[in-house]
Amino acid sequence: MTIENLRFKRVMRYDLAQRKLRLFRMMWEANGGPGPTGYSAKAAVSFVPKALGFRCGPSEVRVTLLGVQLHLQRSHGGLYS
C-alpha cells in the first residue's frame, strides 16, 4: 500500500447537533486513488461526552475511548476534501 497526497486539516469547532468538539482530520489516497484498486481515506479526531464506544460499518470504523473519538472512513468512488 502506498499513501499519496497526505493532507492535514485543523477543524477546532464544536458541533451542537452531534455534541462533539472536532479537532482535526487527515485525508490521503492509497494505491493510486479512487478506482478499481485504490481508495481515498479520512481519519478524524474529536472529543465526545462518552467513555466507551465502537461502531463499525462497511466503509467506516468509529472508536471512542475516554472521550476521544477516532473515526476512519474509506471511499472507493471519490476524494475527501
State how far the Cα of 10 lies from the Cα of 51, in Å rounded to an integer: 24
pTM of the complete model:
0.83
Has residue 3 got a pLDDT over 70? yes
Question: Does some domain include residue 80?
Answer: no
Question: Does some domain include residue 52?
Answer: yes
Encode pLDDT of 5-17 as tens digits.
889 999 999 999 9
State how far the Cα of 24 lies from the Cα of 46, in Å rounded to an integer: 7
- Which of the pair, 35 or 71, is modelled with greater confidence? 71
Band (pLDDT 50/70/90 cuts) for residue 22 is: very high
What domain count does the chain have? 1
Encode pLDDT of 37-50 as tens digits.
778 889 999 999 99
- Residue 2 CB neighbour total at 10 angstroms: 9
Q: Record the cell numbers describing residue 8, joined without a space.
A: 492535514
For residue 71, give its domain range: 3-75
